[in-house]
Chains A and B, each alone.
Chain A
Amino acid sequence: MTRHLLSVADLDDDALRSVLSTATEMHDVQHRAVKKIPTLRGRTVINLFFEDSTRTRSSFEIAGKWMSADTINITGKGSSASKGESLRDTVRTIAAMGVDAIVMRHQASGAAHQVADWFDESGVATSVLNAGDGTHEHPTQALLDAYTLERRLGSLEGKRIAIVGDITHSRVFRSNVLALPRLGAHVTVVAPPTLMPSGVTAWAAADGFALADDLDEVIDSGVDALMMLRVQRERMAGGFFPTPREYTVGYGLTRDRLAALTAHNPDAVICHPGPMNRGLEIAADAADAASSLVLDQVSAGVAVRMSVLYHLLASDGTVEGADLRREGRATKGSHA
């Protein structure tokens, strides 16, 4: 396991498997009457959120509390960060209080990487867990997506998964394409050309995923899972597509597409990282369908984050063969 979790690429195949299997055990804690295990007693985890995200922050907070860690929330707004202090000064100040891990959400791509590098250079022992950095990555989201899909579909080996929507600006996409193919899935990325990242053709060829711009063709070819991405409101003013209506017609999971999906494969499932724009990228019928895993994803989020915190911070023994050695961050940045 690595000292920091900044990208899915930080996890080698064994670590990826280990995080997912430990998450299964952690998931059981959620069904106990007393949802508390002592694993991280005496550990302090700071949720440092420079960008609002009630969902992700709460998920990390619950995960930490159920493992008996002391969890503290700091939001960017009102902190010294908004008073012109440099990011480096802000995080060094927090780390100097002796915290074991910083769970960090930041609006800028690469922010968590930089903080980890600063810590490594200056010998600060605090772990950094990337909870979303700009339009770059959101590794625990990809881990919880993989976990949720495996629970429903079984092994992902040979499964066809389409990721649909605003690919350019999606950290969920960037982390998922690093996780799902390694678990054996065939991934197809679907978006209008204006919402595909620059250089994506070479990237897809190198990393083993497919590209498409016609959602109906992808659905008709038969898929096991559709992962719908949220469309940010500000993209509508950015000229990426003409109107919300046109977006829905071209790329939304409408009632008709839901019917086509199920007709081709009755077991096909739907994911969405939330929060959903009902009626834009996903119809209400689809969001609430039996095949929708949206609430499963939320529930899995706590278990997966417990597993990740466990792997980063628990240093006293093993659980069901999980390897707890803390090693250097060998794969840092190698994916990019």
Chain B
Amino acid sequence: MRGHNDLLVTGAAVLGGERADVLVRGGLVVAVGPEATADTAGSGTDVERVDADGLVLLPGFVDLHTHLREPGREDAETVRSGSAAAAAGGFTAILAMANTTPVTDTGEAAEHVLDLGVAAGLADVRPIGAVTKGLQGVELAELGMMHRSRARVRVFSDDGRCVHDSRVMRRALEYVRAFDAVVSQHAQDPALAGPSACCHEGEISGRLGLTGWPAVAESSIIARDAELALHTGSRVHVAHVTTAEGVEAVRWAKRRGARITAEVTPHHLLLTTDLLRSYDPVYKVNPPLRPQEDVDALREALVDGTIDAVATDHAPHARHDKEHAFPDAAFGMLGLETAFSVVHDVMVASGRMDWAMLIERMSTGPARIAGLADHGQTIRPGSPANLVLVDPGAEVTVDPGASLSLSRNTPFAGRTLTGRVRTTILNGRITAADGEVRP
């Protein structure tokens, strides 16, 4: 088995700065700089060399928002295939959303997902627990049991659905304070648009005859949750914020001292609601694609820190669940394999963001929010070897056929983006290289 070998990464820009060699041994970074090469010379063990000339070495990415579909819809994705996609995308840790069948709302269910992740061995898979039983929004799930289980659940979410009952949300926040967990909220008041909403409410939805969610459905829930977070002293996390109004609500809440964090998806940083004119269900996602003004506000908020993290909301779907009329098709898009390229293209290559900020938003920040000590650590001797090598100069033309996911619903098909993931290292072992998984 690989992983007991030493790994010597040569010539990479470490954390986007100086070029250095990095030696990995026993799952840890053991040397950075000239000592790394010197150390290997006399060690006597097998050394696998990775030539990283022109590449940048970063802590591995952490995804706060992945849908893995197992158990229940293994035709769309499994923990194994989703982990493979994660590894190919440079992720070393992913948090698996609870809306599977059955729902992850017990300690046993959480341990089951954890064990499947360990068996796959391609990423650190951490289950997210449901806030309410069966995602029904009525009774709290066994939050403490999930936390006490081997899965040590520290993020809870009914994602896909908003915890819209104020009393339930208050109790959830109060309850998880005992173990410093966080509630990740799909902020979208379901009453404001009704059950047939399927896109952004605006001029385009009006013309297309589609029912939309107004921006206020998002911002009003964020504002309410901020008040509850202040009242309870607990942590709330806003999943996939999408609107300028939502960003403003998070900004206001942070100014007031609420313990609130927020994430944005790559697709909301790049795509707009104009794409819906084609009625192509590949662009159907919840929360929906918004107009350019919102995209601009999200980019700005990601830079100024109002938004703390990028999260993929990777949502694989079988082909036949997307091949319906737009209002009847499933919500969701793939995201794990394209996340870095999209963020790099939109934020780094454009000069909006530097490498330190990219690391903070895609690795360090999300690891801190989820309480993952082994990820998002600065690369130095003694830190866990959860790493990714990226090539900022390479272009990627997104090909759904090459995806390691079991599904093909990527909205980026055919797009050319700058910035490519080359090699992903989990616990000192290479999990993926150039889009191929290493078994």
Give the interface of A toward B (CB within 8 A): 86-89, 106, 108-111, 113-114, 117, 133-137, 168, 171, 174, 197-200, 202-203, 238, 333, 335-336
Q: Mark B138-158, 1 if CB is under 8 A from A, else 0.
A: 000000000000000000000
Do A335 and B278 have beta carbons less than 8 Å apart?
Answer: no
Q: Are the CB atoms of B278 and A109 closer together than 8 Å?
A: no
B210 lies within 8 A of A109 (CB) = yes
One of B182-190, B237-245, B318-326, B339-347 at the interface: B318-326
Interface centre among A114, A198, A203, A333, by most chain B C-beta atoms within 10 angstroms, is A198
Besides A113-B278, A113-B279, A199-B202, 13 other A-B contacts (C-beta < 8 A): A86-B320, A89-B323, A108-B324, A109-B209, A109-B325, A110-B279, A114-B325, A134-B210, A134-B327, A136-B209, A198-B201, A333-B278, A336-B208
Q: In the docked arrangement, what's the CA distance between A171 and B210, Å?
A: 11
B326 contacts which of A109, A197, A335 (Cβ < 8 Å)?
A109
User: Who on chain A is nearest to B327 by CB?
Assistant: A108
B212 interfacial by beta-carbon distance below 8 Å = yes
> Could you say which residues of chain B place their CB within 8 Å of the CB of A202?
203
Least CB distance, B100 to chain A, in whole angstroms: 21
Is the pair A114, B326 in contact by a Cβ cutoff of 8 Å?
A: yes
* 7 residue pairs, one from A and one from B, having the closest CB atoms: A199-B203, A110-B279, A136-B209, A197-B206, A108-B325, A135-B209, A109-B209
Which chain A residue shows the least CB distance to B291? A199
Contacts of B324 in A (CB 8 A): 86-88, 108
A236 → chain B, closest Cβ, in Å? Answer: 15
Residues in chain A near residue B321, CB distance under 8 A? 86
Number of interface residues of B (CB under 8 A): 27
Determine the chain A residues whose CB is within 8 A of the CB of B204 once the complex forms: 199, 336
Q: Give Cα A106–Cα B279 distance, bound, in whole angstroms.
A: 14
Residues of A within 8 A of B277 (CB): 333, 336
C-alpha gap A133/B327 in the complex (Å): 11
Task: Report the minimal beta-carbon distance from B411 to chain A, rounded to whole angstroms.
Answer: 16
Once the chains are docked, how many angstroms separate the CA of A197 from the CA of B205? 8
- State whether B325 touches A111 (Cβ < 8 A): yes
- From the candidates A86, A106, A136, A238, name the one contacting B208 in the complex (CB within 8 A): A136
Q: Does B415 make an interface contact (CB < 8 A)?
A: no
Q: B202-228 CB contact bits vs A (8 Å, 1 = yes)?
A: 111111111110100000000000000
Write the chain B residue with the least CB distance to A108.
B325
| C-alpha spacing A133/B208, complex, angstroms | 10
Q: Which of A136, A202, A335, A336 has the most CB of B within 10 A?
A: A336
9 sample A-B contacts, Cβ–Cβ < 8 Å, listed by A number? A109-B208, A114-B279, A114-B326, A135-B211, A136-B210, A197-B206, A200-B206, A203-B203, A333-B278
Interface presence of B194 (CB below 8 A): yes
Q: Whole-angstrom distance from the CB of B362 to the nearest CB of chain A?
A: 34
Q: Is B74 an interface residue (CB 8 A)?
A: no
With a cutoff of 8 Å between Cβ atoms, the chain B residues found around residue A109 in the complex are 208-210, 279, 325-327
Q: Closest approach, in angstroms, between the C-beta of B204 and any C-beta of chain A?
A: 7
- With a cutoff of 8 Å between Cβ atoms, the chain B residues found around residue A238 in the complex are 194
B residues in contact with A114, CB < 8 Å: 279-281, 325-326
- Which residue of B is nearest A200, CB measured? B206
Alpha-carbon gap, A135 to B205, bound state (A): 10
Instruction: Verify B208–A89 contact, CB threshold 8 A.
Output: no
- Pick from B194, B209, B214, B326: contact of A171, CB below 8 A: B209
The answer to the question of B328 belonging to the interface, with a C-beta cut-off of 8 Å to chain A, is yes
Q: Are A335 and B207 in contact (CB under 8 A)?
A: yes
* Bound CA–CA A202/B203 (angstroms): 7
The smallest beta-carbon distance between A44 and chain B, in angstroms, is 24
CB distance from B294 to the nearest CB of A (A): 14
A62 to B268, CA, bound (A): 49
Assuming the contacts A86-B323, A110-B325, A137-B209, asked whether A117 and B278 have C-beta atoms less than 8 A apart, the reply is: yes
Q: Cβ of A198 and Cβ of B206 under 8 Å apart? A: yes
Rounded to whole angstroms, the CA-CA distance of A197 and B209 in the bound complex is 8
Contacts of A134 in B (CB 8 A): 209-210, 325, 327
Contact B323 A199 (CB under 8 A): no
CA distance A135 to B197 in the complex (A): 13
Give complex CA distance A113, B327 in Å: 13
A336 to B273, CA, bound (A): 12
A87 touching B203 by the CB < 8 A rule? no
Taking the closest CB of chain B, its distance from the CB of A139, in whole angstroms, is 13
Segment 301-343 of B: residues with Cβ below 8 Å from A: 320-321, 323-328
Q: Are B328 and A110 in contact (CB under 8 A)?
A: no
Contact residues, B106-128 vs A (CB, 8 A): none
Whole-angstrom distance between the alpha carbons of A114 and B279 in the complex?
7
* CA gap between A239 and B121 in the complex, in Å: 52
Nearest B residue to A106, CB-CB = B325
Contact across chains for A89 and B201 when beta carbons are under 8 A apart: no
* Bound-state Cα–Cα, A198 to B203, Å: 6
| A30 and B206 alpha carbons, distance in the complex (Å) | 38
A106 contacts across to B, CB distance below 8 A = 325
Most buried by B among A87, A89, A109, A113: A109
CA gap between A110 and B325 in the complex, in Å: 7
Contact check, B207 vs A110: say whether CB atoms are below 8 A apart.
no
Instruction: Give, as a whole number of angstroms, the nearest-CB distance from B359 to chain A.
Output: 39
Closest B residue to A114 by beta carbon equals B279
Closest beta carbon of chain A to B324's beta carbon, Å? 5
- Give chain A nearest CB distance to B322 CB in angstroms: 8
The digit string for B249-290, where 1 denotes a CB below 8 A from any CB of A, is 000000000000000000000000000011111000000000
Give A168 to B278 CA distance when docked, in angstroms. 20
Pick from B205, B209, B323: contact of A88, CB below 8 A.
B323
**Docked-complex contact B325 and A87, CB < 8 angstroms:** yes
Q: Find out whether the CB atom of A336 lies under 8 angstroms from the CB atom of B207.
A: yes
